[in-house]
Amino acid sequence: MLLLWIVPLVGQAQFRVVQLPSEPELLNHLGVWNCILYGDPALGDERVILHFGPDGSTRIARPNENTQRPWAPLSRWQLEASQLKFIDSRVQRSYTADLVRTTLGGGWEAPTLLGGWWCSEAPPEIAFNILISPAGEPTFMTQPLIPEVMATPRYPRRAIQEAKEGRAVLCFQVDSSGRVKDPHFIELTDQLFRGTSLDALMLSQYKGWSDAQSVDNRPACRSFVYQLTQIY
């Protein structure tokens, strides 16, 4: 937005153009998403499908062996500024997401646990099939990714010198060839661990899948823990 500011002076008029900050463009969260939920040590990484309807409805589907459970309703989604919010009352989780991001994801909070979630948008034909027949949804959308190369980050020399420990959590997309794309830091305790964590992630590789499965990307997250070993 441009604002024209006129400052009257003696014998002349001065014009000054002031650039006002524009509103950030928000991600459109409506539709069907292939998601990973992480942070619960008892369940590990959970792969689910979420649907956000234009009427405010929120639904979740979970894989069960080789079938897809019917949709289960969650609370109605709410939008507060750029924050998307909804609740899964069955497991007492409150979900939030910042729609300023380039993909859908955020954090969840339960009475005794904290975690996060990260999603890839489902292709239109997959989304249509889910809405028509939830029980018949192909299971490949929720099958776990298979690691082929898991690179380990080096411990930053400066962090060793300063005796610093820390943790980094990154969420990202994996394409059909198994390559890592679009990484985002969800948690980073110290900037010293940013570069080495990102390098290790981008050197990692997952097993790809057939293009016939019509899924371009799948969501994933990795955590790196930096801990020094005491020598006595």
Q: Select the more confidently predicted residue: 51 or 63.
A: 51
Backbone angles phi, psi at 171, to 5 degrees: -115, 150
In this prediction, residue 210 carries a pLDDT of 73
pLDDT at 49: 86
Residue 198 binned pLDDT confidence (cut-offs 50, 70, 90)? very high
Q: Judge whether 25-141 and 145-232 match in fold.
A: no
CATH class as words, domain 145-232:
alpha beta
The answer on pLDDT for 146 being more than 50 is yes
Domain ranges of the chain: 25-141, 145-232
212 contact partners, CB below 8 Å, separation of at least 6: none
- The pLDDT, as a whole number, for residue 18 is 54
pLDDT value of residue 20 = 54
Q: Residue 173's CB: how many other CB atoms inside 10 A?
A: 21
Q: For the domain covering 25-141, report its CATH number.
A: 2.40.128
Across the chain, mean pLDDT equals: 81
| Whether the predicted pLDDT of 131 surpasses 80 | no
Retrieve residue 195's tokens.
């570069």
Q: How far apart are CA 183 and CA 65, in angstroms?
A: 30
Measured in whole angstroms, the distance separating CA 24 from the mean position of its chain's CA atoms is 18
Answer whether residue 56 shows pLDDT above 80. yes
Cross-strand partners of 60: 50, 72
Q: pTM of this prediction?
A: 0.71
- The answer to whether residue 154 scores a pLDDT higher than 80 is yes
Of the candidates 67, 105, 110, the one whose C-alpha atom is nearest the C-alpha of residue 88 is 110
